[in-house]
Amino acid sequence: MGENIFKALDKELISRGVSWSNCISFGCDNASVMLGRLNGVAAHVQKKNPSVHIQGFPATCSTSQLRKAPQPFASISKRQSSIFPTTWKTRVSE
């Protein structure tokens, strides 16, 4: 599955004329399909460009989990959700 997601990402970048050599970082949730060492999307990204920084978002949690989090963490997580809204299944309400 990671390979299929990577192929879709690769196809989109190619269609927009973006080279993997221009990619400096790849951010995703911590799912194994994204960060799997052998067949995760990140592994395929690094095959294209070994210098890419891979960053899993530790703040991918549900709204109910976030309400129980310490306030500084909750504040940072809310900002991440507004910057990276597509990485969240549910947006965190302010």
- Counting the structural domains of the chain, the total is 2
Same domain, 52 and 63: no
Same domain, 17 and 46: yes
**Per-residue pLDDT tens digits for 67-86:** 555 555 445 545 445 544 45
Same domain, 47 and 25: yes
- Split at pLDDT 50, 70, 90, the class of 8 is very high
Same domain, 78 and 33: no
Same domain, 4 and 39: yes
Bridge partner residues of 28 (DSSP): 56
pTM over 0.75: no
- Per the structure, the complete domain to which residue 27 belongs is given by 1-56
Q: What is the overall mean pLDDT for the chain?
A: 74
Same domain, 31 and 10: yes
**Per-residue pLDDT tens digits for 43-58:** 999 999 999 998 887 6
H or E element, residue 25: strand 25-28
Say how many C-beta atoms besides its own lie within 10 A of residue 89's C-beta: 9
> Once rounded to an integer, what is the mean pLDDT over residues 12-40?
90
